[in-house]
Amino acid sequence: MANNITIGILTGGGDVPGLNPAIRAVTIRALREGYKVIAFRRGWAGIVDFIPEKNADNSNNIQILTSEIVNRAGRTGGTFIHTSRTNPSKLKRGNVPEHLKEKYTQDVNDVTEDVLNNLSYLKIDYLIPIGGDDTLSYGYRLHKEGIKVIAIPKTMDNDVPGTDYCIGFSTCVTRTIEMTHMLRTSAGSHERFLVIEVFGRYAGFTTLLPTMAGAADRCVIPENPFNIEHLTELMIYDRNHHPSKYAVVLVSEGATMVSHSEMSFEGQETDMFGHKKLGGIGDKVAADLKELSPKYNNGRPVAIVNQRLSYLVRCGEPDALDSIVPMAYGNIALDLIIAKKAGRLISLRNGIYDHVPLDIIVGRKKVIDVAKYYDTERMRPKYESFIKQPLFIMTADD
């Protein structure tokens, strides 16, 4: 049995249910093979902050994983090794660790040289980052620098290219459907419009699929700017034709109106990948629907139930798929290590587990094929046939 392989693992970006099962799967299989697993805490930040000195206290940066640790955490949501949106190639001066402040003095710094030094100091043979395209794009950078990287896709938006499925997506869809149906009781009791803002910065999978499953009457997605007047007219029609006199629309957080081309943000501050925190389009849609509703409702306004799901679909335990898929992804990572393969993204395509070249991360964006899956006039999903479609219908790259 081999016992000289050391695997590094980290989770980056937003937390999702399913991360801990993935960490558990990697660790349990690795230990059985005689390997050592080191977790980097807080994503890429754990590697950046690591002090490569024998007597340095790095307990806040790394953790040696054991079966006891991962078995306790493996059934829970979130990530017990923590996460961050740290980008070592664009590290702001305030985030540079104390022992590197004299070396990196710019407002924004590329500290990759020290990341590579730290990985070498720890004798990391393979690195397994779990994250979305931001986290994994830096993993690709390290791959080009010679690090053996095996990436696992994670994001509630399900927008990592090269795979039908990203960890967290099923739980997000499940919770969105469940909570939308729960909120219907209030909307129906008061004969209101129900406006629900859900995840989806650039891709509308988390909006379109719940709508297809019957959670909403209409939906708006980032891939297609929408006309709020037309949406109001459709919502009035839906409300008038519903026995309880209410209507439901799901709004992707990254959706835009034709009259306002910019996304809605909570503030102007950006993370290290250049993203502002999204939020607020649901509020705008709700306010405009209320203002415009008299025009299509015989002069009478329609009141609104307005809810942003946000962390409610991100927190808590994983559903069945987000327990099973991470288990498979973690084991495939070890299959690749045993086969001495790296520079791969683990994938699930048309129900088949596989792996693809890691450079797909930086080669294209994964978004909804609007012409194929979205009726822009009716603001609803569309399809020709479900035969030979993947499990989640519209998640495969063409």
Angle at 134 between CA 165 and CA 315, to 5 degrees: 60
Amino acid at 199: F
Identical fold at 6-167+318-363 and 170-309+370-381? yes
Structure confidence at residue 364 (pLDDT): 85
Q: Would you state the structure tokens that stand for residue 81, as one six-digit string? A: 């090794």
How far is it, in rounded angstroms, from Cα 103 to Cα 109?
A: 10
- Phi, psi (deg, nearest 5) at residue 210: -60, -35
- CATH number assigned to the domain covering 170-309+370-381: 3.40.50.460
- Please, is 355 exposed, middle or buried when counting C-beta atoms within 10 Å of its C-beta (0-12, 13-18, 19+)? buried
Does CATH number 2.40.50.100 belong to domain 6-167+318-363?
no
Q: Strands (DSSP E) along the chain, which ranges? A: 6-11, 36-40, 62-64, 91-92, 108-109, 126-131, 150-153, 193-198, 218-220, 247-252, 265-270, 276-278, 304-308, 344-349, 352-357, 374-375, 380-381
Structure confidence at residue 260 (pLDDT): 74
Q: What global pTM score does this model have?
A: 0.94
Which of 350, 345, 329 has its CA nearest to residue 393? 350
Catalytic residue among 15, 114, 134, 157: 157
Q: DSSP class of residue 281?
A: H
| Residue 157 among the catalytic residues | yes
- Please, is 247 exposed, middle or buried when counting C-beta atoms within 10 Å of its C-beta (0-12, 13-18, 19+)? buried
Q: Where are the domains of the chain?
A: 6-167+318-363, 170-309+370-381
Structure confidence at residue 369 (pLDDT): 94
* DSSP state string for 215-270: S-SEEE-TTS-B-HHHHHHHHHHHHHTSTTS-EEEEEETT--BTTB-SPPEEEEEE
Spell out the per-residue pLDDT of the chain, length 398, in tens.
456 899 999 999 999 999 999 999 999 999 999 999 999 999 999 999 999 999 999 999 999 999 999 999 998 999 999 999 999 999 999 999 999 999 999 999 999 999 999 999 999 999 999 999 999 999 999 999 999 999 999 999 999 999 999 999 999 999 999 999 999 999 999 999 999 999 998 999 999 999 999 999 999 999 999 999 999 999 999 999 999 999 999 999 999 999 876 655 555 566 565 555 565 899 999 999 999 999 999 999 999 999 999 999 999 999 999 999 999 999 999 999 999 999 999 999 989 999 999 999 998 889 999 999 999 999 999 988 999 888 898 876 65
Structure confidence at residue 1 (pLDDT): 43
Q: 291 forms bridges with which residues in the sheet?
A: none
How far is it, in rounded angstroms, from Cα 198 to Cα 254?
A: 9
Amino acid at 391: L
* DSSP state string for 177-198: HHHHHHHHHHHHHHT-EEEEEE
